[in-house]
Amino acid sequence: MAVILDGKAVAARIRAKMKERVAAMPETPHLAVLLVGEDPASHTYVRLKEQACHEVAIPFERYEYPSDVSTGELVDRVRQLNARPEVVGILVQLPLPAQDADTVVAAIDPKKDVDGFHRANVEALKAGKPALAPAVALGVMKLIEETKQPLAGRKAVIVSGEVFAEPLIALLAERGVTATAEPDPRTTKNADVLIVAVGRPNLITGDMVKPGAVVIDVGTTKIDGKIVGDVDRPSVEPVAAFLTPVPGGVGPMTVAMLLNNVVKAALSR
C-alpha cells in the first residue's frame, strides 16, 4: 500500500520555520491581497492565507472589491502597494469575476509577486534563474522531496493545463526529471512521478498508474459537501508507492509555501 504523504504535518514544520525567520528580521514583511467579488471559494482561500500569516506574525492586508470593480482600479491599488517597501508580497486572488487578470498580475512588481504568476518570474524559472515560483508548484515539489526517492533520470507526467504545468516542468528539470504536460490521462502509465490537477473526481484509477510511482493529487472538487481529488484512492493506493490525500495533501502545502515566498521576497530586498 502507498505511503500517504501528510501535507498537514510537512506544512506545520514549514510554518514553524517561517515564524522563526520572520521573528529574526529587522523589519516585519507585509503581505497584501486583493479579493474581488463574493465567490465563496476565493473568500475561503484568502481566510486560510490570513490565518497562516497571523500564525507566523506576518501583517496581512486585505483589499476587498465588488465584482464590478474596474481593471484600472485594481491596477492602481497594485501600483500603490508596489511603492510601499514594507509590503514585500502582493497577490490577486484568482479567478477574477470579469476583470483582466493578466493585466492586473502584470502590474505587480515581479519581486513582490509571491504567487509566482508574473510572466517575468515564469520566464526566469524556465531559464533556470532565481525567481518566485507558484506556491502550489513549490508545495508539490516539497511533497515529492518528502518521499526521499532519487529523482534524477526519472520521468514525470503532469495531467493539467499548460499554465499549471509550466513552472512544475522547470522545477522538476532542476532535479533531473524529464516532465511533460499531458491533457490525456491515458499517457500516465509510464510516469515515475504523476501529478494530476484537472478537477475531475476519480479521473486517475489504479490501471493508469505505474507500480511504485509517486502520485500527487492537486485536484479538489466538492461533492455533497465533501472535498475529493482527481485520484481514485481505493484503486491507486495499492499500486503507487506514495500518494497525497485530498484534503490534507497539496492544499496545506500551498499556503505554507506562500509564506515561504513572502519570507524569500523579504530577504531578497
Q: Catalytic residue, from 49, 111, 210, 264: name it.
A: 49
Torsion of CA 192, 195, 198, 199, to 10 degrees: 120
Q: Is 28 annotated as a binding residue?
A: no
Q: Which of 93, 113, 217, 264 is flagged as catalytic?
A: 93
Is residue 98 within a helix (H) or strand (E), and if so which, with residue range? none
Quick one: residue 131, left, alpha or beta (phi over 0 = left, psi -120 to 50 = alpha)?
beta
Identify the pLDDT of residue 184: 75
Choosing from 113, 115, 230, 232, the catalytic residue is 115
Closest CA to 236 of 190, 211, 205, 191: 205
Q: Tell me, yes or no, if 51 is annotated catalytic.
A: no
| Whether residue 99 lies in the annotated active site | no
Can you list the domains of the chain with their CATH numbers?
Answer: 26-111 (3.40.50.10860), 134-251 (3.40.50.720)
pTM of the model: 0.94
Active site residue 49: yes
pLDDT tens for the 269 residues of the chain, in order: 999 999 999 999 999 999 999 999 999 999 999 999 999 989 999 999 999 999 999 999 999 999 999 999 999 999 999 999 999 999 999 999 999 999 999 999 999 999 999 999 999 999 999 999 999 999 999 999 999 999 999 999 999 988 899 999 999 999 999 999 987 777 899 999 999 999 999 999 999 999 999 999 999 998 998 999 999 999 999 999 999 999 999 999 999 999 999 999 999 98
